[in-house]
């Protein structure tokens, strides 16, 4: 049984696509959990609907939903709805272990976004509770080194390590994105990028094949980090 917690350096870095890719490549019985969905009305399709569409995984679980696009603790307070308790979330996710081989959990926002304004628990607490593998999704371009290092260091402070995945690699990467590859790989648990997801993956016709090509062997894919970085690494004057 394997738990995988997907978090990010911030909002809109590609967590949902990464979650779908991991679910699509996982072997055996797969479930996907979104503990807290914000910014969606009760009947509106949320992140799990997109995961199901892309990965073809229908065993999905959302615990709480708040209508305003805010962090879960603020969204709960604004709506007057109950916050999500850490113990309850961990217990509900752990209960899936008996009937699944892999459970993928998508967090909200970045690594330190609180789910509860009173206790301030975060996705890292949930990852510890589940003894989960952590995937840190980040951006490719200028500014990502600071964001990713801060997130990776905070993950390490929590006693965890993370596999780094680039959430959206442009078709025509600029110099900053190409220069960042080796640095981002060095921040990953294995010293290698666990995946590089091409921009536009939500529109491809064969998502599963694209996911396998974009994720490394640790997540059931064929992505070759060393070859990818060698192909995109810029020349340096020494």
pTM of the model: 0.96
- 195-198 and 162-169: which strand pairing? parallel
Closest of 166, 198, 201 to residue 180, by C-alpha? 166
Whether 98 is covered by a domain: the verdict is yes
Cα–Cα distance for residue pair 28/10, rounded to 1 Å: 30
- 60-66 and 30-38: which strand pairing? parallel
Q: What is the pLDDT of residue 54?
A: 98
Whether 238 is covered by a domain: the verdict is no
Q: What parts of the chain have a pLDDT lower than 70?
A: none
Domains of the chain: total: 1
Whether 223 is covered by a domain: the verdict is yes
Q: Which helix (H) or strand (E) holds 172?
A: none
CB-CB contact of 216 with 193 (8 Å): yes
Q: What is the pLDDT of residue 47?
A: 96
34 catalytically annotated? yes
- From the list 34, 73, 86, 189, the catalytic residue is 34
Give the domain extent around 217: 2-232
Provide the CATH number for the domain around residue 174: 3.40.50.300
CB-CB contact of 19 with 106 (8 Å): yes
For 197, phi and psi rounded to 5 degrees? -90, 120
Q: What is the pLDDT of residue 237?
A: 85
What is the CA 187 to chain-centroid distance, rounded? 16
């Amino acid at each position: 049984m394997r738990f995988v917690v997907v978090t990010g350096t911030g909002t809109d870095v590609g967590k949902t696509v990464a979650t779908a890719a991991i679910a699509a490549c996982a072997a055996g019985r797969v479930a996907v959990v979104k503990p807290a969905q914000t910014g969606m009305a009760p009947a509106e399709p949320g992140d799990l609907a997109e995961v199901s569409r892309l990965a073809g995984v229908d065993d999905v679980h959302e615990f709480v939903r708040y209508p305003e696009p805010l962090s879960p603790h603020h969204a709960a307070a604004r709506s007057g709805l109950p916050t999500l308790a850490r113990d309850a979330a961990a217990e509900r996710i752990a209960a899936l272990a008996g009937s699944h081989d892999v459970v993928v959990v998508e967090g909200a926002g970045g690594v330190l976004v609180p789910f509860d304004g009173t206790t301030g628990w975060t996705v890292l607490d949930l990852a510890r509770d589940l003894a989960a593998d952590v995937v840190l999704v980040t951006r490719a371009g200028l500014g990502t080194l600071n964001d990713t290092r801060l997130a990776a260091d905070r993950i390490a402070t929590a006693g965890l390590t993370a596999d780094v995945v680039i959430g959206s690699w442009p078709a025509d990467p600029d110099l900053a994105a190409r220069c960042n590859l080796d640095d981002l790989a060095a921040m990953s648990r294995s010293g290698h990028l666990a995946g590089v997801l091409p921009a536009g993956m939500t529109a491809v016709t064969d998502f599963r094949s694209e996911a396998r090509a974009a994720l490394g062997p640790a997540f059931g894919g064929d992505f070759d980090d060393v070859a990818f970085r060698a192909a995109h690494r810029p020349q340096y004057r020494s």
